[in-house]
Amino acid sequence: DQQVKQNSPSLSVQEGRISILNCDYTNSMFDYFLWYKKYPAEGPTFLISISSIKDKNEDGRFTVFLNKSAKHLSLHIVPSQPGDSAVYFCAPISSGSARQLTFGSGTQLTVLP
């Protein structure tokens, strides 16, 4: 039962262009959504988050959009840089006491110079 789906295992984008990474979820109890970036041989690092009461959050080159009715969120990176090449995970948090992250399977982003 996959509650969080990242349907694109990989994405290649030219440097300077926009990267759009998508995430779909099924659990209506998710009330906060995080994006993590992961380089090989390292642990995931936090990138950006959005609360379920918002539809957009922006931080520098990174913007996350949330469409609650469609249970869909996306991460936009613009302009993309070669250093952005990594695996990106969508990781919602469920309302309730535990607050653990539920990870998608990830999307490998490659930014070509």
Question: Is residue 91 within 8 Å of 6, Cβ to Cβ?
Answer: no
| Residue 39, phi then psi, degrees to nearest 5 | -95, 155
- Binding segment (CB under 8 A) for other proteins, from list 11-19, 30-38, 66-74, 76-84: 30-38
- Closest separation between CB of residue 16 and other proteins, Å? 27
Cα dihedral sign, 107-33-40-98: negative
Q: With respect to other proteins, which residue has the nearer C-beta, 63 or 89? A: 89
Structure tokens at 48: 């950006």
Q: Does 104 help bind other proteins (rule: CB under 8 A)?
A: yes
DSSP structural state of residue 101: B
Site string for other proteins, 45-84 (x = CB under 8 A): xx-xx-x---------------------------------
